[in-house]
Amino acid sequence: MPTWAAAQDLPAGRVLAAVDLASVEVPPGVLPGGSLGHAALEGKQLAVALRKGQLFSDSQLVGPGLLAGSPPGAAAVPLRMADPASIQLLSPGQLVNVVMTSGNGYDQAASSQVLASAVPVLWTSAHGSRAGQWPDAGETDGLMVVAADPVQAGRLAGASTQGKLFFVLVGARPG
């Protein structure tokens, strides 16, 4: 059965061109769910790095497929970090705790609150946004998108208007 694979090692954030795609034959039961045709791949942006020969699927691309495998009700939540340069430390797939600090430490007592724990990063501005369904790079400094359950999404939505947002890198969830 014909499908498409990476023609070479490809970095996260790459906008796919014809030269990046290789047609391969796979046995009928090996084709991954969410497989895409050539026309659906060209011009799309990779959310993750791929090795040469790895088969493409929608969950590897920036866009709605990023929530594939997330629990029902999961939402992709954009967050603007207080330190835009810190985004360079992240890659899609890493888990982070999202922390909001409020107050200024002078006339308002400073406090911190964890808004979401161990949420996976789906996309970051450090991996580029020249194409696809996300904003242009000039509008995304310090921006990341995480997958959050409905309760976390409610806490995260608009949180940057209430305080400064930071992230803490965390290990994999147990179990």
Tokens 């954030």 belong to which residue? Answer: 13
AA letter at 86:
S
Is pLDDT larger for residue 47 or for residue 130?
Answer: 47
User: Would you say residue 137 has pLDDT above 50?
Assistant: no
**pTM over the 0.85 mark:** no
Instruction: Give the pLDDT confidence score for residue 114 in this predicted structure.
Output: 93
Architecture of domain 2-61: Alpha-Beta Complex (3.90)
Cβ contact 51:6 at 8 Å: yes
* Residue 6 pLDDT level (bands cut at 50, 70, 90): very high
Instruction: Give the pLDDT confidence score for residue 104 in this predicted structure.
Output: 66
User: What is the torsion angle, in degrees rounded to the nearest 10, for the CA atoms of residue 166, residue 133, residue 60 and residue 115?
Assistant: 20
Provide mean pLDDT across the span 152-175: 85
Q: For the chain, give every domain's residue range.
A: 2-61, 75-170
Tokens of 154: 């409610």
User: Would you say residue 27 has pLDDT above 80?
Assistant: yes
